[in-house]
Amino acid sequence: MLSWLFRIWLLFVVIILLAGVGLAYGEWQEVRQEYSTDLHALAAAMADGTQLFLQGAQTSLSMLAQDADRTANITSLLLHEKLQDYLVLNPDFDSVGLKTADNTVITSGMNKDLLHTLLSPVATHKNFFLTTQQQTLITRCQRASGICVGPPLSAPGNLAAHPRWMIPLFLRIQSTSVSPLRPSCLVVLLPLQNGQFSFWHNLPLPAMSSVFLLRQDGFLESRTPPPSKTTFSEIQTGIATQSIRKHPDAHFDTFYGFATAANQWRLGSWYRVQGYPLVAGVGLSRAYLVAVWWKRMIAPLAALFALLLLSTLGYRGFRSIAEARQRERVFASMLLLEAKERAEVTLQSIGDAVITTDIEGHITEANPVAERLLGTTREEVLSKPIEAVFHIVREGDHQAMENPVQRALHEGQVVGLANHTVLMHADGHEIAIEDSAAPILGRDGRVLGAVLVFRDVTERRRQAAELAYQANHDALTGLYNRKMFLEQLRQSMQEALRDERLLLVGILDLDGFKQINDRWGHDQGDQLLCAVAQHLRDALRSGDIVARMGGDEFGLLLPNIRSIDDARNVADHLMQALKQSIPLDAQVVSISASLGFTVLPWDSGDNQQILRHADLALYVAKAQGRNQYCFYEAAMDLEQEHLMETLIMTQEALDDQRLVMYYQPIVTLPQTEGEISANTTMGKGIIGFEALMRLQDPQRGLLTPAAFCEALDHPRLARRIGCYVLDAVLAQGEHWHSTGLIVRLSLNISARHLLDSEFLNDLRCALKAHPGMPPEYCEIEVTESAPMQDFQIAHETLQQCNDLGLRIALDDFGTGNASLSYLQKLPAQTIKIDQSFVRDILNDPRDFAIVAGVTRTASMLGLEVIAEGVETLGHLQLLETLDHPAMQGYFFSRPMPAKAVPAWILSYNPMDYNVKPTQGHNNSAEMTDMGLLRAHNLRVEASIQYLRGQGDCLPDRIIGVDDVAHCHLAVWLDRFTNPATRPPEIDRLHRRLHQILTDNPSQPGSAEAQKLAQELQETNTRLMEELQMFLGERNVYGR
C-alpha cells in the first residue's frame, strides 16, 4: 500500500512540476513576444527619426553651399561668417567646415582641428589619429554623392582622458562657379551626448534598455548607454551585427543573444534607415525581462507550491496511517514468529549462550555458544528437559543450584543473575558463568516458554580474583595488607569469643631496618622484607595469619592459644626464627625484631584499639632494649598517656627555650701536694664538665632528665634536642675558652640521633657555627647500648667524630648487653662506669669487683675511666684503691648552671678531701685485695658511727642470715686465703662482728649501743691483728 500511495503522490508532484514548467515557459515566451513588439516599434521610430534628421541635414548643407556659390566676390571671411550663421541656425551640430576649390579649408565651431584633419588629410593634427578603416571611410564619404555619414571620431574633451565622440556628415558640392573659393565639400560634426544623438533624448525607452545606430559595415555610430566592452572606433561583432549580416535583405528583424558592447544577454530589434547605410536598433537586458517574468509568475508559482505542499502533507498523513497499519500487521506477525526468529536469528548472532524452552521446560533451541559451553550439539539437546542438559553448582562447595528456567516459568518474571555459579561441562571441567532466565509471553500475557541466557565469565572472575588479591595483599611480600589484616582481626575476634579460645594479636617491628635500608639501598631492604616474610610463614602454624602493615612492621594473628605459656612459647619460637642470617645479593645480614602482643578476650575494644594496645606493647619491648617481646598490660595506657604528656611538655619547653644546660665537674685527685701543678684546669685536677639537661617547668620548677627522659630518644624530638645540645654546649665552651677558662665539655647524644643519617651533618654545622671551641675539648657521650642497635653505622659515625677531633665516651658502661670486646672495637677514649655500680661498692663486693675489673681492663687498653655516682667520702676512699680513676658525683658538686662554674673552679681545692696516698699496685689481684679490705674497714667504721648515734643507718649485708658469707671480708678471705690453713680465730671474730650488729639495740646512741660500738671496734682490731699475723707483711688495713 505504501508504494501505491507513493506512486500517486509522486505522479501528482510530477504533474504540478510539469504544469509549473509549462506555465513558466509560456509566460516567458509571452513576455519576449510582448517586448519584441515594443522594441520593434521603437526601432522603427528611431529609423524614421534618423532618416528625417539626415535629410534635414542634407537640405541645410545644400542650401549653405548654394548660398556660398551664388555670392559674388566671395571671400574667406565672408564664408566663415556664413558658417557661423549656419551653426547658429543648426544647434545640433558642433562644428562645420568647408573646403574650397583651391583646397582652402574654412571652419567654424569647437573642433576646427578635427575639421582640418577631415578636409585636408595632409594637415592631420597631432591630437587626432585615424585608423586605416577610418581614413578609408572618410575618403569614400568625400567622394560620395549626397550626404554621407562618416565613422565616429573622438575629439578631445575638457579632459584628455574623456574624449567626445563626433559623427562627421559629409556633403560633396557640384558648383558651376569658377571662383577659386567656390565650395567643393562640406563637413558638419554631430556630437554624441552620452553615446546618443540629441534628437533621441525624448524617446519612450523602457528601463535597462539601450538604443544604437549601426553602420552596415559594422561601425557603431551611436549607442546609449555608451558601450562598456568596446568603443565607437571599432567594428562591432555582437549579436546585433550578426543579425544584420545574417539578413542583408531584410528591413528589420529581432535578435536575442549575447551583446559584446554591453557584455550581457539582451533582446532587441533593429530597423534599416531608408536611403542610408544605417541601422537603428533598440536592446533590452534579459535581467529586466526575467524580472518582469518573475513578477508575473509569483502568484501562479505560489499556487503551485501550495498545491505541492498540500499534496505532500496529504501524502505524509496517509503514509502515517498506512505505516501504523503496517506496523500493526508486522507486530502481529512478529508475535506469531517470535520463538522461531529468536532461535534462528537472535540466538545465532549474539555472543552469549542462549537456550529457549517451551512451557514444559523442554529445549526448543540452542545457539552455537550454548553448544560450546555445554559440550554438546544442538541436535542432541533439542526436546530434552533443561535440567538434563544445564547442570549448575555453587562455586566453592559445589552444591546443586536451582535451575533458573523453572523459576522463570513458574513465577512468570525475570530471574536475576546468580553470582558464583559454575556450569559443569559435558567432559566434566567447570566453567564460571553468569546466568539469567526470562519468560516468553504471548499477546494475551500467557507464558509460552522461557529463554535462558548465560555467558562464560571464567576470565573475568580470574581477573576479579586477582584484583581482589592485589587489594588485600602486599605487593612486595605477598602477605595480607593492613586492610585485610583488620578484616581478619574482626573475624578472628568473633571466632575467639564464640569458641572461648585465646587470640594472640601481635605487632612485629624489625630492629635497625632503617639503617640497613639507608646503608645498602632499598633493593636490599626489599629483599630483606621478603626473606623475613618467608621466615614468618615458615615459623607460624597453619591457622596463623601474618600481614605486612607497612614499612618494616608486620601484624600477627595467632588463634587457638590455650594459655599465656603457650603464647610465650609461640613468641619465643618467632624470635628464634628471625635470628637466622639472611643472605642478600651483596651480603649476609642478621637482624632482630621486637614484638608487642595483646591477648583476647583479656583485652577488649575495637580493631583500632586492639592494634593500639599491641603497638604499646611493641613500644615497651623496644624501650627495654629491642630483640624482645612484651605483652600488653592496662598500665601501658597510663604509660602512653604519660609519654604523650612528657612529649608535649618537652616540645613546648624546647619551643619556649626552657631547656637549659647544667654542668657537673669531672675530677681526679692528686696523691700529694706536689702533684697539683701537674694536673689539669688551673692545676686542680679538674678534667672537665659534663653538660646535663634540665627543664624549667612553670609549675614544677627545675626538672631533671628523669622527668622527661622518654622524650629525649623519641623519634619526634631526638634530633631537635640533639641539635640544641650541640649548639648550646659548644656555644658555652666557646665563651669559656674566649675568657681563658680552658675546660673539656662532655655532652650526651641519644642513640636515635647518633644513628640518624643527618647526625654528622648536624655536628659539622655546630662546629662550624662555633669555631672558638676546639674539637679536642669536646667529648660526645653515648650510652653503651646505642652502638648495639646498629654497630656498623655507630662505628663509622664515631670514627668520623674522632676524625673531626672529638673524643668519644661510653656512658653508663656495664648496664647494657655489650661485651668487653666493644672496648676494643669502638673508637672510644673514655669509659664512664655507671653510678648503679659505684654507689653500692661499699655494700656489695660484687659491684666493687665489677668496678675494679672494668677499671683495670680499661687502664690496660689505654682508656680513661670515670666513676659516676661518687657521693660519699667512703666512695672516694675506696675508689682511690683502684689505680686512681677520674670521678664524678655529688660528693664534689651537684650539676650547676653555667654562670656558677667559674666560681666553683676558684673555690675547689682537691687537698680538702684528706685522702691518704696509696701504694702502687702490682696487679689487679692486689688492687682488688686492698679495695676489699678497705671496704671492710670503712663499713665497720660506719657501723660504729651508727651505734654511737652519728650515722643514718647500718651498711647493707651486715645483719642478714647469709651476710657473714657474702660481705667484703668474706669475699676477700675466700679469694686470698685457704680455709684449711686459715686460723679458726679469724672466722670466729668475723662471725662475732656480724653477731654484734645483729644484737643492735633499737635506739642508736644509747648506753647499750655505745657498749656494742666499743666491742665492735675492739673485735675488728683483734681481727686485723690476727690477719696481720697470718699474712705477714701485708697491710690488712687497706691503707
- What is the CATH superfamily name and number for domain 645-918? EAL domain (3.20.20.450)
3-class DSSP state of 270: strand
DSSP 360-390: TSBEEEE-HHHHHHHTS-HHHHTTSBHHHH-
Name the burial class of residue 96, with classes exposed (0-12), middle (13-18) and buried (19+) by CB atoms within 10 angstroms of its CB.
buried
When pLDDT is cut at 50, 70 and 90, the band that residue 921 belongs to is very low
pTM: 0.48
According to DSSP, the β-strands at 896-897 and 659-667 are antiparallel
Neighbours of 1 (CB within 10 A): 12
When pLDDT is cut at 50, 70 and 90, the band that residue 897 belongs to is very high
What CA–CA distance (Å, rounded) separates 717 from 690?
A: 21
pLDDT, average across residues 409-434? 82
The residue extents of the domains of the chain are 56-191, 350-463, 473-633, 645-918, 936-1031
The pLDDT of residue 687 = 92
Q: What separation in angstroms does the CA of 806 have from each of 236, 779, 887?
A: 121, 6, 21
pLDDT at 767 over 90: yes
Q: Which helix (H) or strand (E) holds 597?
A: strand 593-600
Q: Is the Cβ–Cβ distance between 370 and 356 less than 8 Å?
A: no
What CA–CA distance (Å, rounded) separates 873 from 991?
A: 27
Beta strands in 784-917 (DSSP E): 807-813, 830-833, 864-868, 886-888, 896-897
What CA–CA distance (Å, rounded) separates 46 from 273?
A: 9
What CA–CA distance (Å, rounded) separates 547 from 549?
A: 6
User: The domain 473-633 is classified under which CATH number: 3.30.70.270, 3.30.70.100, 3.40.50.1000, 1.10.10.10?
Assistant: 3.30.70.270
pLDDT at 436 over 70: yes
According to DSSP, the β-strands at 778-783 and 744-748 are parallel
According to DSSP, the β-strands at 447-456 and 430-441 are antiparallel
Q: What separation in angstroms does the CA of 426 have from each of 376, 381, 437?
A: 7, 12, 21
In Å, the largest CA–CA distance within the chain is: 210
When pLDDT is cut at 50, 70 and 90, the band that residue 917 belongs to is very low
Q: For 635-664, how does the pLDDT look when each residue is reduced to its tens digit (9 = 90+)?
A: 777 777 787 888 889 999 999 999 999 999
β-sheet bridge partners, residue 980: none
3-class DSSP state of 582: strand
When pLDDT is cut at 50, 70 and 90, the band that residue 225 belongs to is confident
pLDDT, average across residues 172-194? 80
- What 8-state DSSP symbol labels residue 226? P
The reply to whether 350-463 shares the fold of 56-191 is yes
3-class DSSP state of 431: strand
Q: For 290-339, how does the pLDDT look when each residue is reduced to its tens digit (9 = 90+)?
A: 888 888 888 888 888 888 888 888 878 888 887 788 888 778 677 766 75
Q: For 520-533, how does the pLDDT look when each residue is reduced to its tens digit (9 = 90+)?
A: 788 888 888 998 99
Give the list of residues 6+ apart from residue 992 with CB closer than 8 angstroms, or none.
1019
**CATH architecture, domain defined by 350-463:** 2-Layer Sandwich (3.30)
When pLDDT is cut at 50, 70 and 90, the band that residue 674 belongs to is low
pLDDT at 677 over 50: no
Q: Is the Cβ–Cβ distance between 171 and 58 less than 8 Å?
A: yes
Q: For 746-756, how does the pLDDT look when each residue is reduced to its tens digit (9 = 90+)?
A: 999 998 899 88
What is the fold, at CATH topology level, of the domain defined by 56-191? Beta-Lactamase (3.30.450)
β-sheet bridge partners, residue 782: 810
pLDDT at 508 over 90: yes
The pLDDT of residue 159 = 45
Q: For 614-634, how does the pLDDT look when each residue is reduced to its tens digit (9 = 90+)?
A: 888 888 888 776 788 999 887
When pLDDT is cut at 50, 70 and 90, the band that residue 161 belongs to is very low
Q: What is the CA radius of gyration of the chain?
A: 68
Q: Among all chains, which residue has been given the C-alpha cell 562464560?
A: 456
pLDDT, average across residues 771-797? 85
What CA–CA distance (Å, rounded) separates 166 from 192?
A: 6
pLDDT at 1038 over 70: no
What CA–CA distance (Å, rounded) separates 874 from 96?
A: 165
3-class DSSP state of 555: strand
Q: What separation in angstroms does the CA of 47 have from each of 151, 486, 746, 892, 951?
A: 18, 118, 139, 153, 168
Beta strands in 491-584 (DSSP E): 502-510, 545-550, 553-561, 582-583
Sign (positive/negative) of CA torsion 83, 89, 90, 93?
Answer: positive
